[in-house]
Structure 1
Amino acid sequence: MDLAHPTAPPAHAADASATLRLTGSVLRPLTLSLDALRAYPAVTSAPFDLRCYTTQRFIRTIEPYRGVLLTELLGDAGLRCEAHGDFKRMVFVASGHDGYAVPFTWHELFNTPVGKQVIVAYECGGAPLAEEDGAPVLFSGADLVPAPRHVKRLARIDVRVLAP
C-alpha cells in the first residue's frame, strides 16, 4: 500500500514496458503495473470502430474494453496546484512507448462527459490484455473519431500546468 496515499493500490515492480507512470504536477507520482490497475474500480467501454491511421484500415471492436477511469488515477495521484486556478490550465499528455502522444485538458476530463469515458484498459472482451496486445491501452470513448486518442502500450501520463 502507498503510505503517502493509503487508498492507492500498491505499485508492483513489473516489466518496465508494461508499467504506467503518472508524473509532473501531481502530489503523489504513481508507477502502476497491469495488476495494480486491475485493483481499481472497473468500468467498461461500448464496442467501437477504429480506423487505423497508419494502414487506413477499419477495425471493428465487438468486445468492450475494461479498465479504470483516467480521472480515478489522477485523483489518486492528486493534482498539484501551486497558484489559484492552476487546475484550469492543466493538460494531461498520455504517451505510448512508441512516442505517440495525445492531450486532454482538465476541463475536458473533469467538466464534461468526456471524463466518464476515458479509460486505461487492461482487458478486452473478458480476456486480459498482455503487453503483446498493447496493454495498457488508453481509450477515449467520447471522441467522435476514436483512433486519434487510442494509445497502445501507454507508458506515461504527464500532468502539466500551462503558463498564464
Structure 2
Amino acid sequence: MDLALATALPAIPDDNAPVPGTLQITGSVLRPMALSLDALRAYPATTSTPFDLRCYTTQRFIRAVEPYRGVLLTDLLNAAGLRCEAHGDFKRMVFLAIGHDGYAVPFTWHELFNTPVGLQAMVAYECGGAPLAEADGAPLLFSGADLVPAPRHLKRLARIDARVLAP
C-alpha cells in the first residue's frame, strides 16, 4: 500500500482499547463492565483518610493527599460477579489493576475479601471534596490499608482484569 494513502486512512478503532475516564472490568467475571466516572458515582461511596504520598524506594515526600471518595473495589468486583468454573477457583483468583500507561498492580482474592485491605481498596473519583477529572488521573486506584500507599496508587485506571491462577 502507498505510504501516503496509508497515512490518510482513518485509524480503525480497537474495541479493546481503553477509553480515557472509563474503567473496564474484564477476565474471569460473569458480567464484564465498562464504567464511566458517572457510573462509578452511582455505587455506594466510601472515603479515605488523608495521607502523605511518598516514593516507595526513596521515601521522598511527593505530596499530601486530601481524602479520596470513591467506590470499594470489592463492590465493583461483586457487581461484575466472579466466574469460578471449578470448585475453589476464587481462592486462586488475582486482580490485576492496569493503568492507561501500562503500570499494573495486583490484588488477591484473599486480601480483598478476607483482610482489612478490601475495606480500603477503592476506585476514586473525588479528592478533597472536588471531582477528579480525567486530567487529574481519574479514575484512580488507592489502597488505604497498605503500609506505603505509593506502589498501589494508580492514576488513569483503565482496567481490572480478574484471573484464576493455575494450580
Consecutive unaligned residues of structure 2, counting only runs of 5 or more, are: 1-17
Alignment of 1:103-114 (within 5 A): 103-114=106-117
Gap runs ≥5 in structure 1:
1-14
Q: What residue in structure 2 maps to residue 97 of structure 1? A: 100
Q: CA deviation at 1:60?
A: 3.6
1:42 lines up with 2:53 in the alignment: no
Q: TM-score, normalised by structure 1?
A: 0.87
Contact 2:53 2:65 in 1 (8 A): no
CA RMSD of aligned residues (A): 1.6
How far off its partner does 1:52 sit? 3.7
SS of structure 2 residue aligned to 1:151: coil
Task: From the CA coordinates, give the structure whose radius of gyration is larger.
Answer: 2
- State whether structure 2 residue 62 is matched by structure 1 residue 59: yes
Partner of 1:150: 153
Query: The residue matched to 1:138 in structure 2 has which SS?
Result: strand
Partners of 1:27 and 1:147 lie apart in 2 by 31
Distance 1:56 1:112 in 2: 26
1:162 counterpart = 2:162? no
**Of 14, 19, 22, which aligns to 1:16?**
19
Q: How does the TM-score come out when normalised to structure 2?
A: 0.86
Displacement of 1:53 after TM fit?
Answer: 5.7
